[in-house]
Amino acid sequence: MQPLYKSCYPLDNRCYEDYALTEDILMEHASMGMANYIKANFTQDSSVLIVCGVGNNGADGLVLARQLQGFYDVKIYLPFGVRSVMAEVQLERIQALDIEFLDEVEEADVIVDALFGAGLSRELDERTRKLIVELEALNGFKIACDVPTGIDVDGNPFPMALFCDVTITMGALKESLYSDMSKDYVGEIICVDLGISHKKYTEGFHTRTYLLEESDIQLPSRKRANTHKGSFGHLAVIAGEKEGASIMSALSSLRFGVGLVTMVGEVQGSLPFEVMEDIHLPNNTTSIAFGMGFDAFEDETVEDILESDAPLVLDAGVFSNEVILEFLEQKEREMVLTPHPKEFVSLWNMTIDSPLNIAILQANRFEKVREFCELFPHVTLLLKGSNMIVAQNDKLFVNPHGTARLSKGGSGDVLSGLIGGLLAQGGLPLESAIQGSLALCAGAKAYKGNDYSMMASDLINAIASLGSSRS
């Protein structure tokens, strides 16, 4: 788990004020991080084109050119000249070196984008947009310095951005790199130090936003031998009109360690042998999954769930019906909400006065999640997307491991089952949502077929094998 920051400028300033480091020192180390990556991944006969902007991001690129000179065929393109003091200093330092300056972009094995870095707050002008198009047409491996050009402080193309294979970001990880809108632009993200350890760099700057790593997954444990099926909880899955959704939730929860699963309601089709059936909530229910496959809600069903004190995972149809308001009023109830963007917009517009649409949400996911959780601090929210956000009160966690494999009907039902199963086993809502999301992504990654071919049943089977090589 790594901390995420909206901006790293205060962290840089503390390096100057408290540690007597200079802008020059930080710049040398930032560029050395990029140089080390290039040296580790490209042979010394490779060509490197470094495209530099007018400010300190461009200055980083100029330092990189100096550090690579003599090892690679380095060329620099300065489309707009230099403007910042540090850019002028770095340009003067390389004047005596045998480095070629170009009048236009040209093909190279490695293309470094050092035009604009973090903190973009104005829309790219026409000349920069044209340059991005020219760079996109090149076949070389593209590396972004700190943040791909065009990605603004909120993680949105403003109005366009450069698609990069790798982003080498400086000092600490930035929120803007982990928005849904920036995901296709940033490529692999690597964070490099700035002449001081990451721990010291971030010391004293507390954040409540974190990036989840694959290593954070904690699979259910059955180390104790003296147990029975009731030792691992009983999930009640409420059957909706589309029973397949409920069945997928039930099966995924069984695969994730829950001891018992009952489908509650008037079930029309046949159920898997492992899933029990009842028209009422079982007395020993330890969690409830509700909303999957629902279009309409019967008062009796809703009342039964409201009267129970079992933890809840709410999904799908429940977010388009005012029944959700009754659940949100249960401030002592442990619950996890798992909407996708369209469902979250519906939920928002039923509960909050300021109107919201999908475009505004996707451009401001962090902000809107924080606003919602401030109003409903007792709720754990999991906002689905290519980078899932899990939040409770003022804590926010980003799961960046989503893949296009999950863009298929049934994936969300599997997630509800994973979370419901963990709640049934005694997991707390926030931890259950985090671990369910990590398991979902790990299962998708473990699937051996083509990206486009994975079905919910394949995902459930892949999740069953997670950690199977561990002792």
Q: What is the pLDDT of residues 143-188, one digit of tens each?
A: 999 999 999 999 999 999 999 999 999 999 999 999 999 999 999 9
224 phi, psi to nearest 5 deg: -75, 140
| Encoded amino acid at 351, one letter | T
- Is the pLDDT confidence value at 432 over 60? yes
What's the confidence (pLDDT) of residue 117? 84
* Ranges in the chain annotated CATH 3.40.50.10260: 2-207
User: Domain 2-207 maps to which CATH number in 3.40.50.10260, 3.90.1170.40, 3.30.413.10, 1.10.287.130?
Assistant: 3.40.50.10260
395 phi, psi to nearest 5 deg: -95, 135
Token duo for residue 185: 């632009």
What's the confidence (pLDDT) of residue 468? 66
**Total length of the chain:** 471
Peptide bond into 159 cis (omega under 30): yes
DSSP string, 107-156: --SEEEEES--TTB-SPPPHHHHHHHHHHHT--SEEEEESS-TTBBTTS-
Which helix or strand (DSSP H or E) is residue 436 part of? helix 429-446
Strand 395-399 to 388-392 pairing = antiparallel
Highest average pLDDT, of 5-19, 60-74, 215-229, comes from 60-74
CA angle, 304 then 310 then 312, to 5°: 90
What mean pLDDT, rounded, does the chain reach?
94
* Ranges in the chain annotated CATH 3.40.1190.20: 215-464
Token duo for residue 360: 């505004």
Q: How far is CA 41 from the centre of its chain?
A: 26
Highest average pLDDT, of 85-99, 234-248, 298-312, 420-434, comes from 420-434
Please give the share of the chain, as a percent, with pLDDT higher than 70: 99
Rounded Cα gap, residues 336 and 40, in angstroms: 44
What's the confidence (pLDDT) of residue 471? 36
Residue 6: count of CB within 10 angstroms of its CB: 16
Q: Compute the average pLDDT of residues 53-62.
A: 95
- Is the pLDDT confidence value at 297 over 60? yes
Cβ atoms of 180 and 386 closer than 8 Å: yes
Strand 100-102 to 2-5 pairing = unpaired
- Confidence category of residue 227, pLDDT binned at 50, 70, 90: confident
Extract long-range pairs of 63-67: CB within 8 Å, 24+ residues apart.
Answer: 63/27, 63/28, 63/30, 63/31, 63/90, 64/31, 64/34, 64/35, 64/112, 64/114, 64/145, 65/94, 65/99, 66/90, 66/93, 66/94, 66/97, 66/99, 67/31, 67/32, 67/35
Token duo for residue 116: 């604009």
User: Smallest Cα–Cα separation from 291: which of 257, 242, 328?
Assistant: 242
Q: Compute the average pLDDT of residues 266-290.
A: 92
DSSP string, 46-79: -EEEEEE-SSHHHHHHHHHHHHHBTTBEEEEE-T
Tell me the Cα Rg of the chain. Answer: 25
What's the confidence (pLDDT) of residue 231? 80
Beta bridge partners of 288: 236, 312
Q: What is the pLDDT of residues 183-220, one digit of tens each?
A: 999 999 999 999 999 999 998 888 999 999 999 999 99
Superfamily name with CATH number, domain 215-464: Ribokinase (3.40.1190.20)
